[in-house]
Chain A
Amino acid sequence: MSTRPEVREDARLIFAMGGGGFTMEPANPLLDDFVLSLTRAPEPRILFLPTASGDTAGQINAFKSRFSHRTCVAKHLSLFRLAQTDRPLEEIVFDQDIIYVGGGSMRNLLAIWRAHGLDRLLVRAWETGAVLAGLSAGAMCWFQAGVTRSSGAPEPMEGLGLLEGSLTVHADGEPERLPVWLAGLRSGAIPGGWALDDGVGLLFRGAQMERAVSSRPGAEAQRVDAIAGELVRRRLQPELLLSDGPNTVLGGRDEAVEELRRVHRLQRNMGRRRG
């Protein structure tokens, strides 16, 4: 396994989105820029895992068009197409600052990761400081449980359990998941957790939910727990991200990093114009 040192619990980040980002909001980069802001790396290495979709060209192309012009090293990892590289999975996964998981079938996602041993590698990547991010199936997978439509009708599904509680996604876009989730909470089959609209993301630092952000005005999040058989709901007000703000969570902006990113952007733009 990795020789990278473990990081302290409060340096382990997971960003879970109810929907949004490059696959769902091609014209709105707010959530994806927020993801990039979660690492201190001047030029973050970001790896996209489109496993839950079956590695569709659509998701991979959307990833490239979002990130290839940003200051980062963007690659994707396919578990279906024949290997583009001889590098072992372990080496690829442990060489990242951010791992971004796309949406699709949560059931297939976890089963295929397990078949390749990737579930264990991702846990290790998180423990050693890589930011884990994702939407929909790629968000629910980090929790104890989610609500999947992998077989058509919504049903509860166990996740990897890095984060306590449950998550249900697309609360506004696919409201048919909610009753299944609430019934599971009431019966005790699913632990209490969060329901997120499309465009809302929760940032977890270690086990703690630290921040709720949103790319769309009006998008909501709620926390629901069953207490003595009664559902107790609490509404969260996500912060609307700003298109030109630093959106940083790292405690003040790093001028040197900002400067470097500006220079890189400039160089790339000039390169494109010349090309």
Chain B
Amino acid sequence: MGRDGTLLDDYILSLLAGDRPRVCFLPTASGDADHYIVRFYRRFAPHCDASHVSLFRRDQGTGGVEDDLAGHLLSQQLIYVGGGNVLSMLGAWRAHGLDEVLRAAWRGGIVLCGPSAGSLCWFAQALSAFHGAPRPVAGLGLLPYSNCVHYDAEPARRAEYHRAVREGMCGGYAADDGVALHFRGTRLQRVVSSRAHAGAYRVTVEQGRIRERRLPVAFLGVTAPSHAREPVSAEAREAGGGDSLKPAAAALVAA
């Protein structure tokens, strides 16, 4: 949904079957910010059966889905989780039972995606920088790795991620802004990017030392739209990510 996120959004949509796929937006991590919801509809409503679920202001009517949130989410083809604060989002999700709903959605073959906090949440652990030194936080754990986003956006981020992994956070994947990791099941299938030269990395610790391996990245600006439309089966669990909160937010295709 960002300036250069269109390519990533198109990539995600290419994973979905049908002319008007059912896509639901979860803006929880932004506190259900109005401007973000508007941007989602602007971007997705022309091509999709688009809806959103708000967890705030439900007493006033949110314009989003009100009743049977679980039933609505489980009938989607894509659940798009917006960026913002991952801890606040996970707390609110748990309070409304959405953590379990999203696990069920993933098991049922619904594509899950999101940038920034919408990427971190799918992993076992994530590096979250918020009020003080970045620290590991527990995500939903669909993907048994750690995740670090905005890897190139702040000079200290890479060193902080390395330190966290060295100090016991599980190994995982780091993504620069504009890069999306596409998982099928728990296996990384492809890394795509809306920005030339942006990178993604597998970071592990071996014999007490950090090993960082650069992953091959397909730049969608050149190679698009070569990705074929493929049907999503229950076995083929996937997730995509789009660049959204800021023009250069690190996007992550996950799940």
Interface of A toward B, CB cutoff 8 Å? 51, 53-56, 79-83, 85-89, 92, 104-105, 107-108, 110-116, 149-152
Contact = CB atoms under 8 A, between A and B. Distances in A.
A53 B66 contact: no
Given A105-B58, A150-B59, A79 B96 contact: no
Interface in B96-121: 96
Give the secondary structure class of A's interface.
Answer: loop
Interface in B50-94: 55-59, 66-67, 84-85, 87-88, 90-92, 94
A53 B22 CA distance: 28
Given A108-B95, A152-B66, 6 more contacts: A54-B30, A80-B88, A83-B130, A87-B131, A112-B88, A152-B59
Contacts of B58: 105, 149-152
B238 interface: no
Nearest to B246: A82
Contacts, number: 82
A120 to B, nearest CB: 14
Contacts of B66: 152
Nearest to B67: A152
B21 interface: no
A115 B128 CA distance: 13
B16 interface: no
Contacts of B142: none
Contacts of B59: 105, 149-150, 152
Contact of A108 (B55, B67, B85, B87): B55
B92 A104 contact: no
A55 B19 CA distance: 37
A114 B92 CA distance: 10
Contacts of B188: none
Contacts of A82: 85, 130
Contacts of B131: 83, 85-89, 92
B33 interface: yes
A116 B88 contact: yes
A108 B132 contact: no
